[in-house]
Structure 1
Amino acid sequence: MIRGSIVAIATPMKRNGVIDWESLRTLVKFHLENNTDAIVAAGTTGETTTLNLEEHFKVIRTIVNEVNNKIPVIAGIGANSTSEAVNLTKSAKKAGAHSGLSVTPYYNKPTQCGMLDHFKEIASVGLPIIIYNVPKRTGVDIYNETILKLSEIKNIIGIKESSGDLERAVELIEKLKYKDFALYSGDDSTACEFLLSGGHGVISVSSNIVPKKMHELCIASIEGNIELAYKINKKLMPLHYALSIESNPIPVKWALNKMGLVKKGIRLPLTWLANKYHSTLLKTLQLLEVLK
C-alpha cells in the first residue's frame, strides 16, 4: 500500500500548448529530491482531458522512466466510457504504471449498479485500481455502500475521496479500517483531519509546490503526532485555498512558473491565471519561501 503524499503532477507546456518534456523530467526530479511518496501521471491536474492518447501515454512513460522504480507511478485511466477506460488501463499497464486512478464516469450519470459494473470491468485488466470520487467535477457521486462492495473485488485497491465531506470519509475509514484497502484524501484542505482519522495518504495538488512539507504533514498525521500535524497544516492552509482561486490546474501552473520549474503554458479551454489573482497567490508563495 502506498502511504503519504502523492502528487497529482502538472503537465508542463510551452506557450503554444506543446508539452514541455524537459520540464516534465525536471518536475519529476524535483519530487524525487523532496520526498514525494508517489506520483499521479496524467490525472486531472495533468490536464488529461486535453491530451490526446499518444500524449497521455507518453506522459506516463516519461514519468515511469524518469522515476526508475524509486517511487510508484499511478496512471490516470478514467473515462465515462467503460470500454475506453479498459483500453486506457491496458495501455497504462503496458507503460509500466504501478496502478491506475480511475475517476467515476462523468456527465452520463450512471447508477450505483452501473458504476459497480464499470469498475469491475476495469479491474479485470489486472492493473491495481484506485477509484476517484469527485462529485463536483463529474456530476456523479459513488456512495459508501458501493465503495464497500468494490473493496471486495480483486485489483480494486483503494479510493481517492474528493467529495470534501469529512464526516462521510471518516465513516468509510471506520468501516474499512481492518481491510487492506487504501484510503486517500483528494482534498488538501481537509487531508490532515482525514489522515488523523485513519487515512493512508493524500493525492495532492499542493504537493506540486511544497512536496517536502506535504510529505512531513502526512507522516506526522499517520503517526498520530497531532501537535506537529496541526502546526504544518496551519502553515499550508493558505496555499490550499490559493490553489483553488481558479479552476485547477490554473493556479498551480502559475505558481510553478513563478518558481522557475515550468514555462508559461496551458491548454484551452483553461487559460492562464487572471491578473487580479496574481498578488494573492504571490504573497502565499512568498510566505512559504518557495520562490528563488
Structure 2
Amino acid sequence: MRAGADAERRSAAPHRIGGSLTALVTPFVAGGSRIDERACADLMSWQIAEGTDGVVVGEATGEAPTLTFTERDRLLCIALEAAAGRVPVIAGTGTNCTRTSLSFTQRAEAAGADAALVVAPSYNKPTQEGLYRHFAAIARKADLLVLLYTVPSRTGVDLAPETLARLAAIPCIIGLTDATGDLTRPAVTARAAGPAFLQLSGHDATAAAFTLAGGRGCISVVANIAPRLCAELQRACLTGDHRRATMLQARLSPLIAALERETDPGPVKFALSLMRADVAPDLRLPLVVPRPETAAAIEAALEGLRGDEGSVPVDWSAGAGHAA
C-alpha cells in the first residue's frame, strides 16, 4: 500500500469506525451443528435498523475458537452482504498463532471487511517483544486496517504503553479495543500512541465512562440485546451529554451484570433466544448454556428493561416470538 493511501485510510478510520459496535453472536441451528445463515443475516439487519454503528463478527462472542475456516469466511460474507456498506463490518482474526492470524486477516481483506480485530495471543503468554512482532507481522503483510484487542482476563497478557507506541507507528494499525475496565487507560494510551489513535472500550460495564474519558465507542456484548440503547448511550457520550450517558448506562447495568455472571457468549445467546424466535441458545462445547440461577437473573433483567418507562424506548418488536 502507498504511504499516501495509508495516511488517508488511517485519517478516515475514526470517522468510519466508532460509536456502538456489536460483537455479534453466531446463531447455530439446534445442537450447534452448523451456522444458521438466515438467523445471522436477520440479526445483522435488525442491528442496523436499531442504530448500531458497526459489527464485529468471528471473535469471542461469536464463538470464533469453535468455527472452522470455512465457517469464518461464510459468516463474514453474510455480514457484509447484510450490511451492504451501511455500517462497517470488522472481522475477528486473532488467534494465538501468528501465521493463522495472518491467514484469517488476509482472507477477511479478500472478502471486503472494513477492518480486522486482532486479539493478543492467549495461552502462549508472549513477552512484550513477542506481542509487538506478532501484531507487526500481521499488519505489515495484510492490506487491511487493524484494531488491536487487549483482554487480559481471557488471554493472560496485556499490551504495555511502550508496545502500543511502537505498534501505533505502523500505518495499518489504527487503534485499540481495551477490555480491561481500567478507566485510566484512555489517557495512558493517548499519551503513548497519540491522540489520533482510535480507542474503543471492550467492557460494557464501563463503556460510558471510557468514552467520556476519551474513547470513541464500544465493542459491546449487551448491544446484541439492546442495540438501540447502546447506540443512544454512545451518541450521548460522543456529544458530551454526560447526564444522559450516565442515565443510559444505569439502565443497562442490571442486564450487563446478569450477562457477566457466566462466560460470554452463553448468557447473551440465552437472552437473545428469549427475545427472538430465530435465535437458538445453542453453543458449541466446551461452552454450555447458563445455569438456572443465571437464566433467572437474565430474565429478570430483561423484564426490568422492557418495563422501564425511561425516555429512551426499548423496542423488542423486531424479535417477534420473544418470551412475554
TM over 0.5: yes
Matches for 1:125-136 after TM superposition, within 5 Å: 125-136=142-153
Deviation at 1:277, TM superposition (A): 1.7
Aligned equivalent of 1:158: 175
Deviation at 1:193, TM superposition (A): 0.6
Alpha-carbon separation, structure 2, partners of 1:229 and 1:171? 23
Deviation at 1:173, TM superposition (A): 3.5
Give the counterpart letter for 1:245 in structure 2: R
Alpha-carbon separation, structure 2, partners of 1:268 and 1:35? 32
Aligned pair 1:285/2:312, yes or no?
Answer: no
- Paired residue secondary structure (2:177): strand
1:46-100 Cα offsets, whole Å, 9 max, x none, are 0000001100111011111111111000001001111111111110001110000
Name segments (4+ residues, structure 1) moved above 3 Å: 173-177
1:181-231 Cα offsets, whole Å, 9 max, x none, are 210000000111111111001000010000010011001011111111111
Residues 182 and 200, structure 1, Cα contact 8 Å, conserved in 2? yes
- Paired residue secondary structure (2:79): helix
Alpha-carbon separation, structure 2, partners of 1:209 and 1:170? 30
Aligned equivalent of 2:236: 220
1:251-289 Cα offsets, whole Å, 9 max, x none, are 000000000140231111101111122221101001111
Residues 74 and 97, structure 1, Cα contact 8 Å, conserved in 2? yes
- Paired residue secondary structure (1:288): helix
Alpha-carbon separation, structure 1, partners of 2:185 and 2:86? 34
1:243 to 259, 262, 270: 259
Aligned pair 1:13/2:28, yes or no?
Answer: yes
Aligned equivalent of 2:209: 193
Residues 6 and 38, structure 1, Cα contact 8 Å, conserved in 2? yes
Residues 79 and 103, structure 1, Cα contact 8 Å, conserved in 2? yes
Deviation at 1:178, TM superposition (A): 2.8
Deviation at 1:174, TM superposition (A): 4.9
- CA, structure 1 residues 177+191, in 2 after alignment: closer, same or farther (shift >3 Å)? farther
Residues 272 and 281, structure 2, Cα contact 8 Å, conserved in 1? no
- CA, structure 1 residues 191+177, in 2 after alignment: closer, same or farther (shift >3 Å)? farther
Give the counterpart letter for 1:10 in structure 2: V
Alpha-carbon separation, structure 1, partners of 2:212 and 2:190? 11
Alpha-carbon separation, structure 2, partners of 1:165 and 1:75? 25
Residues 95 and 121, structure 2, Cα contact 8 Å, conserved in 1? yes
Matches for 1:1-292 after TM superposition, within 5 Å: 1=14, 2-17=17-32, 18-124=34-140, 125-176=142-193, 178-179=195-196, 181-260=197-276, 261-289=278-306, 290=316
How large is the Cα RMSD of the aligned pairs?
1.3
1:92-141 Cα offsets, whole Å, 9 max, x none, are 00111000000001111111111111111111111100000001101111
Alpha-carbon separation, structure 2, partners of 1:193 and 1:177? 20
Give the counterpart letter for 2:21 in structure 1: I
Alpha-carbon separation, structure 2, partners of 1:149 and 1:36? 32
Moved more, 248-257 or 161-170: 161-170
Question: Structure 1 length normalisation: TM-score?
Answer: 0.97
Question: Structure 2 length normalisation: TM-score?
Answer: 0.87
- What is the total number of aligned residue pairs between the two structures? 291
Residues 198 and 222, structure 1, Cα contact 8 Å, conserved in 2? no
1:11-46 Cα offsets, whole Å, 9 max, x none, are 001222121111101100110110000000111100
Residues 186 and 213, structure 2, Cα contact 8 Å, conserved in 1? no
Moved more, 30-39 or 13-22: 13-22
Give the counterpart letter for 1:137 in structure 2: R
- Paired residue secondary structure (1:126): coil
Alpha-carbon separation, structure 1, partners of 2:205 and 2:46? 23
Residues 266 and 281, structure 2, Cα contact 8 Å, conserved in 1? no
Alpha-carbon separation, structure 2, partners of 1:183 and 1:103? 14
Alpha-carbon separation, structure 1, partners of 2:210 and 2:179? 11
Residues 161 and 192, structure 2, Cα contact 8 Å, conserved in 1? no
Pick 1 or 2: higher relative contact order, CA cutoff 8 A, min separation 6.
1
Alpha-carbon separation, structure 2, partners of 1:148 and 1:194? 20
Give the counterpart letter for 1:145 in structure 2: E
Moved more, 66-75 or 268-277: 268-277
Unaligned runs of 5+ in 1: none
Deviation at 1:171, TM superposition (A): 2.1
Alpha-carbon separation, structure 1, partners of 2:115 and 2:260? 27
